[in-house]
A and B are shown apart, each in its own frame.
Chain A
Amino acid sequence: DVKVTQSSRYLVKRTGEKVFLECVQDMDHENMFWYRQDPGLGLRLIYFSYDVKMKEKGDIPEGYSVSREKKERFSLILESASTNQTSMYLCASSFWIRGAKNEQFFGPGTRLTVL
């Protein structure tokens, strides 16, 4: 079974703090993704990575950065947390096969509250 784990299920931070969300997958997947999920908005892609040290902006990258130093780990960084970043954050990974990407496997999510 594919396993995608996230470092925290619940996190409470204060405005202006630097926040690190960690994601680890154990299936040697090339692609990793960070989404945020808000009621009525579905999942919105923040950043994704298709290889170590590679990253691409998604739809809503402002206020976030990412790091992928190892294939299995993809970190989301909030440089200076703000209250509008209170959300559920979901990490996902997927693999390439015959040049096409496949379904994404999701972690359990981190519910972040910024006070």
Chain B
Amino acid sequence: ELKVEQNPLFLSMQEGKNYTIYCNYSTTSDRLYWYRQDPGKSLESLFVLLSNGAVKQEGRLMASLDTKARLSTLHITAAVHDLSATYFCAVDVYNNNDMRFGAGTRLTVKP
């Protein structure tokens, strides 16, 4: 059974600092996704990572995928308050129709 673990679950950081969120998964998978959720809102797709070594960047966020290590990272550069949200990684279940989500990382960026 595919298990997805995110670390940390809670992250409080100062504006301007850098940090990384980690997403480990337990079995072979086709692809990995990162989503953002603002309080009281639904999930918004951030990145889709399709292959080993894939790297995608949008603004202050950069996501990467290492399928051999079964690890994805979401790197935050020079954090700003607007990035405060909960971030989820999700992994496709290989040869199946669904995906598994991590528990989410609640990020708070303080001034």
Majority SS of interface residues in chain A? Answer: strand
Inter-chain contact A102/B98, CB cutoff 8 Å: no
Majority SS of interface residues in chain B? Answer: strand
Q: How far is the CA of A56 from the CA of B12 in the complex (A)?
A: 38
Interface membership of chain B positions 16-39, coded 1 if the CB is closer than 8 angstroms to chain A and 0 otherwise: 000000000000001101010000
> Which residue of chain A has the shortest Cβ distance to B100 in the bound complex?
A45
Inter-chain contact B92/A106, CB cutoff 8 Å: no
Inter-chain contact B101/A43, CB cutoff 8 Å: yes
Given contacts A31-B97, A48-B98, A56-B98, contact A42 B45 (CB under 8 A): no
Q: Write out the residue numbers on chain B whose beta carbons fall within 8 Å of the beta carbon of A101.
A: 92, 97
Q: How far is the CA of A56 from the CA of B98 in the complex (A)?
A: 9
User: With contacts defined as CB atoms under 8 Å apart, how many contacts are there between chain A and chain B in the complex?
Assistant: 50
Name, among A33, A42, A50, A90, the residue most crowded by chain B CB atoms within 10 Å (CB to CB): A42
Inter-chain contact B48/A102, CB cutoff 8 Å: yes
Interfacial residues of chain A within 86-115, with CB under 8 A of chain B in the complex: 90, 92, 100-109
Inter-chain contact A90/B97, CB cutoff 8 Å: no
Inter-chain contact B103/A103, CB cutoff 8 Å: no
Interfacial residues of chain A within 44-92, with CB under 8 A of chain B in the complex: 44-45, 48, 50, 56, 58, 90, 92
Inter-chain contact B97/A42, CB cutoff 8 Å: no
- Partner of A33 from the list B30, B33, B41, B98 (CB cut-off 8 Å) is B98
- Partner of B45 from the list A56, A105, A109 (CB cut-off 8 Å) is A105
Q: Write out the residue numbers on chain A whose beta carbons fall within 8 Å of the beta carbon of B102.
A: 42
Q: Write out the residue numbers on chain B whose beta carbons fall within 8 Å of the beta carbon of A106.
A: 35, 42-44
Inter-chain contact A40/B103, CB cutoff 8 Å: yes
List residues of A whose CB falls within 8 A of some B CB.
31, 33, 35, 40-45, 48, 50, 56, 58, 90, 92, 100-109
Having A41-B103, A101-B92, one finds 7 other A-B pairs with CB under 8 Å, namely A42-B103, A42-B104, A43-B88, A48-B98, A90-B43, A100-B31, A107-B42
